[in-house]
Amino acid sequence: MLNAIDYVPGNTLLHRLNPVTKLALAAAIIIATFLADTYPMLLGLLALTFALGAYAKSSSRLVSLLKLLVPLAVVMLLLQTAFVRGGSPVFLWMTSEGLETGTKACLRLMGVALPLILMLTVTKLVDLSNACVEVLHIPYRYAFTFTTALRFVPVFSQQMNAIMEAQCARGVEYDTKNPLRKLQLMLPLCVPLLVSSVGKTDATALAAEERGFYLRTRDSSFKRYPLVARDFAVLVGCVVLVALGVVA
Amino acid sequence: MPSSADSPIIELRDVSFSYEGPSSQDGDMALSHVSLSVGRGEFVGVIGPSGAGKSTLASVMSGAIPHHYRGALYGATLVDGRDTCEVTLTDISRIVGSVLQDIDTQMVASVVEDEMLFGLENFGVPHDQIEERVSQTLQTVGISDLRDREIATLSGGQKQKVAIAAILALQPRVLLLDEPTAALDPASSTLVFDTLQKVNREAGITVVVIEQKVALLSRYCDRLLVMSRGSLVLDGTPRQVFAHGERLRGIGVDSPRVARVYNSLARHGLVEGGEPCLTVPEAERLVAGLVGDSPRQVTEGNFRAGSRHVAAARPHSEGAEPVVLLQDVCFGYPNGGATVDNLDMCVYPGEVVGIVGQNGAGKTTLTKLLNGLLRPSSGSVRIAGIDTADVPTSRIAAHCSTLFQNPDNQLCKDTVLDEVAFGLELQGVGQDEACRRASSVIDRFGLPANEAPFSLSRGQRQMVALASVVVMEPEVVLLDEPTSGLDYRECMTVMETVSWMAERGCAVIMVCHDMEVVSDFAERIVVMADGRILGRGQTTQTFCDSDLMRRAYVEAPQVIELSQALARDVSPEFAGISQVSGIVDLTEEMVGRA
């Protein structure tokens, strides 16, 4: 099963960076996206994300995510144009100012979502949590909770899929064309999903404890995650990105 | 205080446990007054019907009770001489390594190597020893080649081995497994037990395994514990335990078929009783010894006599239109992976057809093509005269009901009555009528109509799911592993209901790993491997085709293996017998003839 946040194996520079550096890079792109207020900068940051994605051979994931984001962005654009009424009218109800804030909001939405996903596709979750514990001194239990939550996303989506299939085979119209009707049919299924997820998380907690979870310290990890020259170089790049975001 | 070498590694002294808390009645106890001890290096199997307290027993042994689950615990549990109440769960797990029932929840990493490292890192194994431990454990379990694989891409059997290896690397003294083979096909189950046996013999690790598959347990365990209603009712070697065939059946535990042959012969006074055979060769020697003295009247005349002992096929309407028709069906998943090719199949009303094959042979894909969840990429699937390509899945549901392996995926209503009536309402049956029909089915199954389905036991939830299939009165019923996770008695209730539906003209197609169930209830089987149909035919005859069985990695049922061996070495009259009673009757007759 293909998942947007699944690790894409590889040996590019991006894969070999320290997970914390990758996190910083994603954060820098996101911060710059929030700060930037010109089209060239916003588009440039998006282009950077895609260039990195293409380099790490995970651009197909970004594109599949984009398919989800674009409809959302369109809805956002329409709403923005409806609320922001300044400037001269351009087309129907839309005004020049409305269009400008709207498109920028859309670009920001994509600019914020994509770098994080890119970071996750080039990092194994275990490495991410271990590096956060080692480099950032985050308590392991928080790092573990976070990565486990991410790891459960595909598990739950599979579960949801199995439930939908079972219900569909019973004659519930999930194959309906009407999205509102589909949503209405899906809501009751949250109960079985919730019941099984509570059981699963409880079992996970037990299994982790039985494998010495509470004994783990910052020095436990077998693999080490030192920051090396290339990490510092990228970190400097991150600062430049944020600075660019402030001026542009 | 570490104990000496000959003292038990786990000891339970009059242990009782209730999830409800101290106020509960004796009847609500999940475990009541269990005393037992597990010696170092033993290979112990635990069996019992569902709700007997097997998992609770495992939790007590692993320290999850009292440290993780709340409730009232009485008595004392000693692990390596120390009371589990007085040491932490982490310290208990240094001695007792547990593999959970749902291994997906146990996994913490996405790659096999990281999964192996997790426990080793936590328990502070010196980093210079970690590499050796990891590679050695992977080798012991026989999965060195999987080290860099993504766990998500592994098969069920491989995943199970990874879960075992991750625990084994911690070098526990006891390995405790809760139904490790529940989701596996027979070949993978055997491999998992081979691994356990190797660990047990070579590393001297005590193995305690909860399991439903009696034939596997009897082959590998030194000792069997039988649980019933929270109590330990039998404790002994597999031979001692299976000598009590009648009693086990009363409890709701199956016996290996060869043990049943022995016990049945003992009831007829042909053997002494008390030492049942557990493997097919043993049973063959026994029967050969009994009839060996009798003159072998192998003449043309009685060559076919074996067929007298074959149960007659269920009469079904000759010349009727097939209700399921697959013509040259191909399907491939969009992102690569499994495909099925050139499937042809034809099922008539009133037939029970079994589909057998390894995990990944394409059986589930076939069922999804039948109930319309998938559409063929070429070829056609016709159910009750409807081409599945023409109508939405939800419409096919009126003609074809599916009983899924996991009932929890289909339960969504607040009461059993609503749940059972739901399918009818979806098909446009009026509410009163739906309720009336649902009530009558619920009565038939003896289910509590006003309870919430999720508050019922696993077995009962499967019954609710089955009731919602029955109430639809479909033309075709699809069963996907209908008996997995059920105990012997629940399994029989499900299968008897299914046969009853078949007798009323419903076509039944079942995917099932339990070959005994297939051989007892299906009159035809379809053998699949690698997305293709390798062979098909009348059940017993097809199971007898040992070449076909080998190619599909399917193990024929014990009785059929036995009758084949007997037909080859003792008398051709045994050929084609698929039931215990057939073997026993013929043996008795042949002994009488002598």
In this prediction, residue B76 carries a pLDDT of 93
In this structure, what token pair is assigned to residue B318?
A: 């000759």
Q: Which strand (E) or helix (H) includes residue B36?
A: strand B31-38
Same domain assignment for residues A163 and A64: no
Does residue A2 lie in a domain region? no
Look-up of token digits 């009853």: B500
Rg of the Cα trace of chain A?
A: 22
CB atoms within 10 A of CB B582: 21
Q: Are B74 and B13 in contact (CB under 8 A)?
A: no
Residues 179-238 of A with CB under 8 A from B: 188-189, 191-192, 195-196, 200-201, 203-216, 220-223
- Same structural domain for residues A91 and A196? no
Domains detected in chain B: 10-255 (3.40.50.300), 259-311+559-593 (no CATH), 325-399+476-539 (3.40.50.300)
Task: Report yes or no: B183 and B157 within 8 Å, Cβ to Cβ.
Answer: no
The Cα–Cα gap between A28 and A30 comes to 5
Amino acid (one-letter) located at A195: V
Query: Are A153 and A80 found together in one domain?
Result: no
Is position A95 within any domain? yes
Both A165 and A237 in one domain: the answer is no
Tokens 């003839």 appear where? B593
The answer to whether residues A24 and A125 belong to one domain is yes
Indicate if A177 and A148 belong to the same structural domain: yes
Number of neighbours of residue B205 by Cβ within 10 angstroms: 21
CA B281, B285, B289: angle at the middle one, nearest 5? 170
Q: Are residues A123 and A19 part of one domain?
A: yes
pLDDT at residue B352, rounded to an integer: 92
Q: Please report how many Cα atoms fall inside a 13 Å half-sphere around the Cα of residue B143, on the Cβ side.
A: 29
Ranges of H-type helices in B97-173: 103-106, 112-122, 127-141, 156-168
Exposed e or buried b per residue across B277-293, where buried means at least 16 C-beta atoms within 10 angstroms of its C-beta: bbbbebbbebbeebbee
Residue A85 lies in a domain: yes
Ramachandran region, residue B4 (left: φ > 0; alpha: ψ -120 to 50; beta: rest): beta
Residue-wise burial string across A169-196, b where 16 or more C-beta atoms lie within 10 A, e elsewhere:
bbbbbbeeeeeeeeeebbeebeebbeeb
Q: Which amino acid is at B364?
A: T
Contacts 24+ apart (CB under 8 A), A78-83: A78/A102, A80/A105
Backbone angles phi, psi at B357, to 5 degrees: 155, 170
Residue B295 burial (CB count, 10 A): 8
Q: To 10 degrees, the CA torsion angle through B469, B471, B475, B479?
A: 20
Domain that holds residue A46: 13-131+225-247
CB within 8 Å of chain A, chain B residues 95-114: 97-98, 100, 102, 104-106, 108-111, 114
The neighbouring-strand residues paired with B99 are B177
Task: For residues A4 and A62, give the distance between their C-alpha atoms in angstroms, rounded to a whole number.
Answer: 8
Residue of B nearest to A149 (CA): B108
User: Do you know the residue count of chain B?
Assistant: 594
pLDDT at B336: 62
Measured between CA atoms, the residue of chain A closest to residue B422 is A170
Same domain, A74 and A125: yes
Query: Is position A20 within any domain?
Result: yes
The answer to whether B394 contacts chain A (CB < 8 Å) is: yes
Do A145 and A97 lie in a common domain? Answer: no
Lateral strand order in the sheet of B43-47: B96-99, B174-178, B206-210, B43-47, B223-228, B231-236
CA distance B480 to A158: 18
Strands (E), A33-161: 89-91, 94-95
User: For every one of its 248 residues, what pLDDT tens digit does chain A have, with 9 covering 90 and above?
Assistant: 356 667 888 888 888 899 999 999 999 999 999 998 889 999 999 999 999 988 888 888 888 888 888 888 888 888 888 887 777 777 777 788 888 888 998 999 889 889 988 898 888 888 888 898 988 888 988 988 888 888 888 778 888 888 888 888 888 877 777 778 878 877 777 777 887 788 888 888 899 999 988 888 888 888 888 888 999 999 999 999 999 888 87
Query: Are A94 and A163 in the same domain?
Result: no
Within 8 A of A151 by CB-CB distance, chain B residues are: 108, 110
The helix (run of H) or strand (run of E) holding residue B35 is strand B31-38
Element (H, E) at B214: helix B214-220
Alpha carbon distance B276, B239 (integer Å): 6
Residue recorded with tokens 């039988």: B226
One domain, residues A175 and A96: no
Which pLDDT value is given to residue B237? 94
DSSP B432: H
The pLDDT score that the predictor gives to residue A3 is: 63
What pLDDT is stored for residue B309 in this prediction? 40
Asked if residue A154 and residue A61 are part of one domain, the reply reads no
Position A94 in a domain: yes
Number of compact structural domains in chain A: 2
How far is residue B85's CA from residue B73's CA, in Å, rounded to a whole number? Answer: 10
In a domain, A8, yes or no: no
pLDDT attached to residue A240: 92
Residue with tokens 């996907």: B480
Q: Which of B60, B79, B121, B402 to mutate: most A Cβ within 10 Å?
A: B121
What are phi and psi for residue B18, nearest 5 degrees?
-135, 130
Domain contains A29: yes
Instruction: Assess A2–B contact: CB distance below 8 Å, yes or no.
Output: yes
Q: In chain B, which residue's Cα lies nearest the Cα of A202?
A: B105
Q: For residue B26, give the 3-state DSSP assignment.
A: helix
**For chain B, give me the number of helices (H) and strands (E)?**
25, 20
pLDDT of residue B24: 57
Residue A98 lies in a domain: yes
The pairing of beta strand B352-356 with beta strand B378-383: unpaired
Positions of chain B with pLDDT under 50: 1-3, 294-312
Question: Parallel, antiparallel, or unpaired: how do β-strands B378-383 and B324-332 relate?
Answer: antiparallel
For chains A and B, count residue pairs whose Cβ atoms are closer than 8 Å: 162
Cα distance from N-terminal residue to C-terminal residue, chain B: 65
